[in-house]
Chains A and B, each alone.
Chain A
Amino acid sequence: MSTEYSVLRLVAGSKFIDFLGENFHFVSWAPSVARRRDTMTGGYASYEDTVERIRFNVSGNTAQEIRGLLLEIMAMLEQADGWALGDDVDPVLIETQVQGSTEPHPLRAMVLGRAGQNDSLLNLPMNFHDRLAIFEVEGAEIIFRRSGLWLGEEMKGVSTVGTTPSIMTVNMGEELHSLAPTRLAFKGFGGSTELIGDGFVLLTGVPVHSTFGANFAVYGSGSMASSEFSAVDDSAKLAYDSYVMRIDANSYQTGRITISGVNANVSKLQIFVALRNNSSSTAWEIRALSTGYVTDVTGWVKVGAEKQTPFIRHIGLLANQTGTHTNIELEVKTSESAGTLDIGHLVVFPLDPNARHLILEGRNYSDAAFARNLVIDPRPLTHNVPVVYIETA
């Protein structure tokens, strides 16, 4: 028996195959190391699945017992294969821990069945018939695909309380070497709060503050300057700075808003804007610009006249290879000569390897009158797809 691992086993619910146990004897295993996934559409995790081969011996008191043990391990791998194909069975995990590990629990990865379409899950040795007769089969081997990361102890942090569109910061206690599946739970919605209008979930690891300004920030009318837009009191509708910036197509068919001194020191920014088209017939277009020493511009985004209540629009990506963004501007245009457009607030969202944004479709998810949480859960050890859901608190 190896002394290098204190745990090496396959687990499915309450069943397990222990390679360091009485009947299965671990012989050798060269753990494979996953590589970064190079497509965002071909899977969910940041690392590719990888293939493992574990060689082991099986011993027992009778040949029948050994055949039964081999059937057990085969059944568990078949279960993993079936789970990956969509069967309604428990997932199978591989758990391991090396001797002297500082991790409090064994690390776990999902077993995803056969390595390739035509590959076997279990290989038996050429002298299987001889070894069976002496109740010990040497050199059996399992080959399977597993999820790329080994997952361990769960770390958790909670932000202070805020309102939309607050930036909520959480210290996770330590930086990890690899991109790890991350679960978000927005907590504390009242039982009578209608969830939600239009929404985005934003997550980044970029520090909120830059050297001379902000990387991640919300800007309201108080930070906006314009010759064509004017400030209008909309505190009754909970405008971010109490006022919104309004342009009237009767006077201006084009207009520009400037937010000076953003001074974000990241290369890539996403721009999100809270808008309200007060006309049911006039459509507008909007784009964002990064200005200063160099200029970068997003494409035009249409603002339709379908609704006259506030909503969030993703304007686009501003990429500046110098690594800084001095000012952010918004430009709007319309071909009509009537109707007004309001800008409530603008969010500058910096990108790094941790950054992701998610669109939540606006509708009332509030059928139950209980306090609720909004959860974005990757479910890396239980399911093969993530899910976004609202649960009772």
Chain B
Amino acid sequence: MPVIVGYQGYVPPSGSNLTVSFNVQNPDSIILVFPCMQYAAVGEISFSINNVTIDGTSITRRKSLSGSSENRYIVHELWTARGVSPGTRTINVNLSNYVVDSRTIYVVEVAQLEGNPIAQIVDLNVHSKNVYKSVNTAYIDSLWIGCVRVSDGNNTLAPVGGATELLEMSTSSKQSGQVTGLYMKSGPGTYDFGAQSARSYSNSTMIGIELIGAIAPAVAEGAPALVAVPVYGTADLTPEAAVAMGEGMPPEILLGSVPATQVIWQGNAYLTTRAEVLSAMLLATGDDKWVLPTDAGAPEEFCVEISRRKAFLIPQ
């Protein structure tokens, strides 16, 4: 189950490089960075986020929202990083314009993940006080993290629907500024995720990300009898059909949404190597063919990815 091991909201001083410090605790966690920026001026002067770095290393932009109205220009983004070493890290948000006058940066660290933990990202960019969206998930170990920003610094944000939990909220000191909030929700279901304010000017935005833990195959020793059982719809279920059937499926079939199928094997599957160059072979047949074929009868094409951790007998 993904677990939030740390989060913090920052309002850095004005400048082109907005720098915050964050204490990373787990090397296998994911770091989420939500910059929420607003520039309030007649003429709606636009700006953008050039880059986000952690200790000088660029991280990945996952979502970018921007817009202008009511003499405001807003930018709201989500950036992520994996494999950040524990310790106090410097996060830098580089802006194209140094005069951005409402600046909030939320940083969240989530641990207990394996592989690609991002199940989906939803976003909203509306001229409304209602900044929430209906989301659904079938994952038991789902964790939603969301960031909402509204262009009215005099108001507060309230979680909606009883599902979303407020982690942190920040308001700008300027009347024309912004109010921002960081939210979470864990577990499966369909619910409204986000917040609402009493009123809003300009664009109101929300970015939510769903994180999941490892898709754990059943644990068994040797050659247990666990047979393939995909649980979400039939194997040929299309997204459209799933929605039409009322299966509660999201409008796209998510990567990794089918549980892993344990293969029955014999031998010691705890492979160990130390050589620099390794050679592997899948030696198999299929149907009435001498090789593993596709259903069209041609040889199936594939590659092998080999990964191993560096191993030592004494501490390094």
Contact = CB atoms under 8 A, between A and B. Distances in A.
B42 interface: no
A62 B304 CA distance: 57
Contacts of A362: 285
A165 B274 contact: no
A149 B281 CA distance: 27
Contacts of B282: 164-165, 186, 199-201, 374
A179 B274 contact: yes
Contacts of B292: 163-164, 193, 195-197, 199
A299 interface: no
Interface of B: 3, 5, 25-27, 83, 85-86, 111-112, 114, 214-215, 217-221, 223, 228-230, 235-236, 253, 255-258, 260-295, 297, 299-316
24 contacts: A14-B25, A34-B313, A97-B315, A101-B316, A105-B27, A151-B309, A169-B279, A170-B280, A170-B305, A176-B311, A179-B274, A181-B308, A182-B307, A186-B302, A188-B302, A198-B284, A205-B278, A205-B279, A309-B285, A356-B271, A361-B265, A389-B261, A391-B217, A392-B256
B235 A369 contact: yes
A283 interface: no
A201 B272 contact: no
Contact of B291 (A152, A164, A363, A370): A164
Contact of A238 (B219, B289, B308): B289
B212 to A, nearest CB: 13
A126 interface: no
Most buried by A among B214, B223, B269, B304: B304
Contact of B219 (A159, A358, A387): A387
Given A161-B303, A177-B313, A387-B269, A202 B26 contact: no
Interface residues of A, number: 139
Contacts of A189: 300, 302
A162 B300 CA distance: 8
Given A274-B285, A363-B264, A192 B295 contact: yes
Contacts of B112: 13-14, 90
Interface string A102-144: 1111110000000000000000000000000000000000000
B280 A202 contact: yes
A392 B269 contact: no
B262 A203 contact: no
A182 B308 contact: yes
